[in-house]
Structure 1
């Protein structure tokens, strides 16, 4: 096993101590406002009410550019969740027209010819350095298949399966998509900009509108990365599945941070601060930490790697004919290690059997799987799927509760009907 997870953990512990001591700098927001956000998060107060708007069927959404037909998406405020059943006829990669949308405000329309990336800050050897879109595309390119998943994916299941209230957008399991991203290594850009040995944090900032919550202007979406991660496998991507990035997915350039929670994958990147001192923003203090019983008052360390999940490519309440053979399909993924095994149960968890993996398990991607089923008795039923990754972790029966409903990883009960 590589040492990267340990270095991430050490980084998080250090930042948590610095946050508690007040020795880290609040980037673009008053520290008192950050403390207020932390207090609200610990009480499960909704932080961005628009994001918690009820789901509705629609073909558009305020702030989303692409069509959102109800057979493909469930609209949730300024966000759009992929209906998992809509992935059944797709391959390993999620087509852009079915890829979920997570917006904090609205999708901006940015002309690549007018766009530039500014790299600046006290962690550089010299002054600010600008990169045009064409200059960025002229640098050596790399491709990487990776999923992007909201940290709150599965949030509604804390309530529907475990009876616990949480705040935030009521995602089921469709706040995830996997794509083939092409772009430039962030590390290459930082080295060309002159990153110095004193740099400790790298802060990408989006070009979408500023976020206002409860009368407090949180500024544009931004979240620091440790230098070690920024110089490792992070991508400044400008293509998705062989095409230029669509507006809703970060055009002209976005970050791809493999295996990390979605908020780290900043869309519409406009500038990157390289800092010689620790940085704090709303998105690694009051947001994207775990709060609640069992966590310190200031919350857990900021979230980094995604957790382990499985989902059937079926609508809720899907109907099956008794006495006939059916092919069950689904997907499993983990931010910690490639998925090693998937098991399914068609009797509510009494008997488990291995599913057939359709893809070679790879870090940062999901695997598709299938299982045969011949239901014998008419009536309601429950299907279950659970994955085990190469680190040895298996999906638990219950997810650890936290007030904002992050990192749900429990086995999901999928209701069906046999007729």
Structure 2
């Protein structure tokens, strides 16, 4: 038996990883979650050529062979959709009703964008780098047709681990995950990791595309745009993979398992409560110090002697002092859910 993706929508295709059954450091392509704003693009004949233009000293066009011959980096990165667990917000919010599975982890190989920029140079006026994908379509709130595009400030764009990836888990990137080139931005929510890269443009102003100024903003009030802030760094988070919600268990010893990740530094500890939050115990962590952007696997042995209903919780902390909150930061578009994880089980 093998698990399957959970369908959230077909057009565009949005599918959820069966995260409760994922083990190890790599999510294989058939089980890697899929998040799309539009239908899959039809790639043009020149899709293997990637231009860098705008406020650069020497615009360049790079081929697939060019990138494959350049100094590369291989990074294992947990990518989480900003809307992951949106279905858990109270009051409920509109959008794809993701549960726990809009997060997956893969190993990406590519060229640091900073290296490519050394070949093009930058004008002193450069402020942001815009990444435009091949996917496009209409929006319900604006007239016209829009390509999916996002920008990064120079400091993040030129981080040595911001890469233009051309391989996923040791093979060319699968079409549904961005072939031939995907931007990989570790530590930020995955909306920043633009797929099917069409072009890279350096600009001298703040980018105003709708997938940056309208979408992927935290709106803290139901009916006002006041106080909105951009979605960027991934929140500290954890999930319980086993046992499953509302599972019936026998008395005895059970191994609780889960994952934890953060967009700042590393996971310091994961605490588990089998008393609904009245008391907490430290879980055992399985860390990979060579993979700074990977999730952390955790486990906890639970011996239960009494029948009854139990609320199991997990709470992650990172080395930057961030802790999963009891309640999430509610926002109108349902981004960044990271409340303490909980499953209810019954012991018979």
Same fold (TM over 0.5): yes
CA drift of 1:215 comes to 5.9
Counterpart in 2 of 1:31? none
Is residue 2:8 matched to residue 1:76? yes
CA drift of 1:209 comes to 2.8
Distance in 2 of aligned mates of 1:195 and 1:106: 34
| 1:289 corresponds to which of 192, 217, 223 | 217
Q: CA offsets, 1:244-289, max 9 Å, x none?
A: 1111111111000000011100001010111122221111111111
Q: CA offsets, 1:302-356, max 9 Å, x none?
A: 211010111111332222111x211111100111220000011112111210100
Partner SS, residue 155 of structure 2: helix
Is residue 2:330 matched to residue 1:398? no
User: What does 1:318-397 align with in structure 2 at a 5 Å threshold?
Assistant: 318-322=247-251, 324-360=252-288, 363-397=292-326
Higher strand proportion (structure 1 or 2): 2
What stretches of structure 1 of length at least 5 have no aligned partner? 1-68
CA drift of 1:114 comes to 4.7
Counterpart in 1 of 2:29? 96
Q: TM-score w.r.t. structure 2 length?
A: 0.92
Q: CA offsets, 1:118-177, max 9 Å, x none?
A: 1111x1124x4211111111111111121111111121111xxxx312121111121111
Counterpart in 1 of 2:232? 304
Asked whether the 8 Å contact 1:306–1:407 carries over to 2, the reply is yes
Partner SS, residue 313 of structure 1: strand
Moved more, 348-357 or 277-286: 277-286
Partner SS, residue 328 of structure 1: strand
Asked whether the 8 Å contact 1:113–1:133 carries over to 2, the reply is no
Counterpart in 2 of 1:280? 208
Q: CA offsets, 1:357-406, max 9 Å, x none?
A: 01235532210011001222333322110011001111110111111111
> What root-mean-square deviation, in Å, do the aligned CA atoms of Structure 1 and Structure 2 show?
2.2
Q: CA offsets, 1:184-237, max 9 Å, x none?
A: 001111221232221101000011232432463351110111011111121000
How many residues in Structure 1 have an aligned counterpart in Structure 2?
Answer: 342
Counterpart in 2 of 1:23? none
Higher helix proportion (structure 1 or 2): 1
Counterpart in 2 of 1:173? 100
Asked whether the 8 Å contact 1:331–1:368 carries over to 2, the reply is yes
Distance in 2 of aligned mates of 1:191 and 1:217: 36
Counterpart in 1 of 2:117? 190
What stretches of structure 2 of length at least 5 have no aligned partner? none
| 2:57 corresponds to which of 125, 134, 143 | 125
Moved more, 209-218 or 307-316: 209-218
Distance 1:132 1:112, change over 3 A: farther
User: What does 1:3-82 align with in structure 2 at a 5 Å threshold?
Assistant: 71-77=3-9, 78-82=13-17
Distance 1:240 1:317, change over 3 A: same
| 1:225 corresponds to which of 119, 128, 152 | 152
Asked whether the 8 Å contact 2:110–2:164 carries over to 1, the reply is yes
Distance in 2 of aligned mates of 1:295 and 1:339: 36
Q: TM-score w.r.t. structure 1 length?
A: 0.77
Q: CA offsets, 1:92-134, max 9 Å, x none?
A: 222222111111112336489752111111x1124x4211111
Distance in 2 of aligned mates of 1:383 and 1:331: 14
Partner SS, residue 403 of structure 1: coil
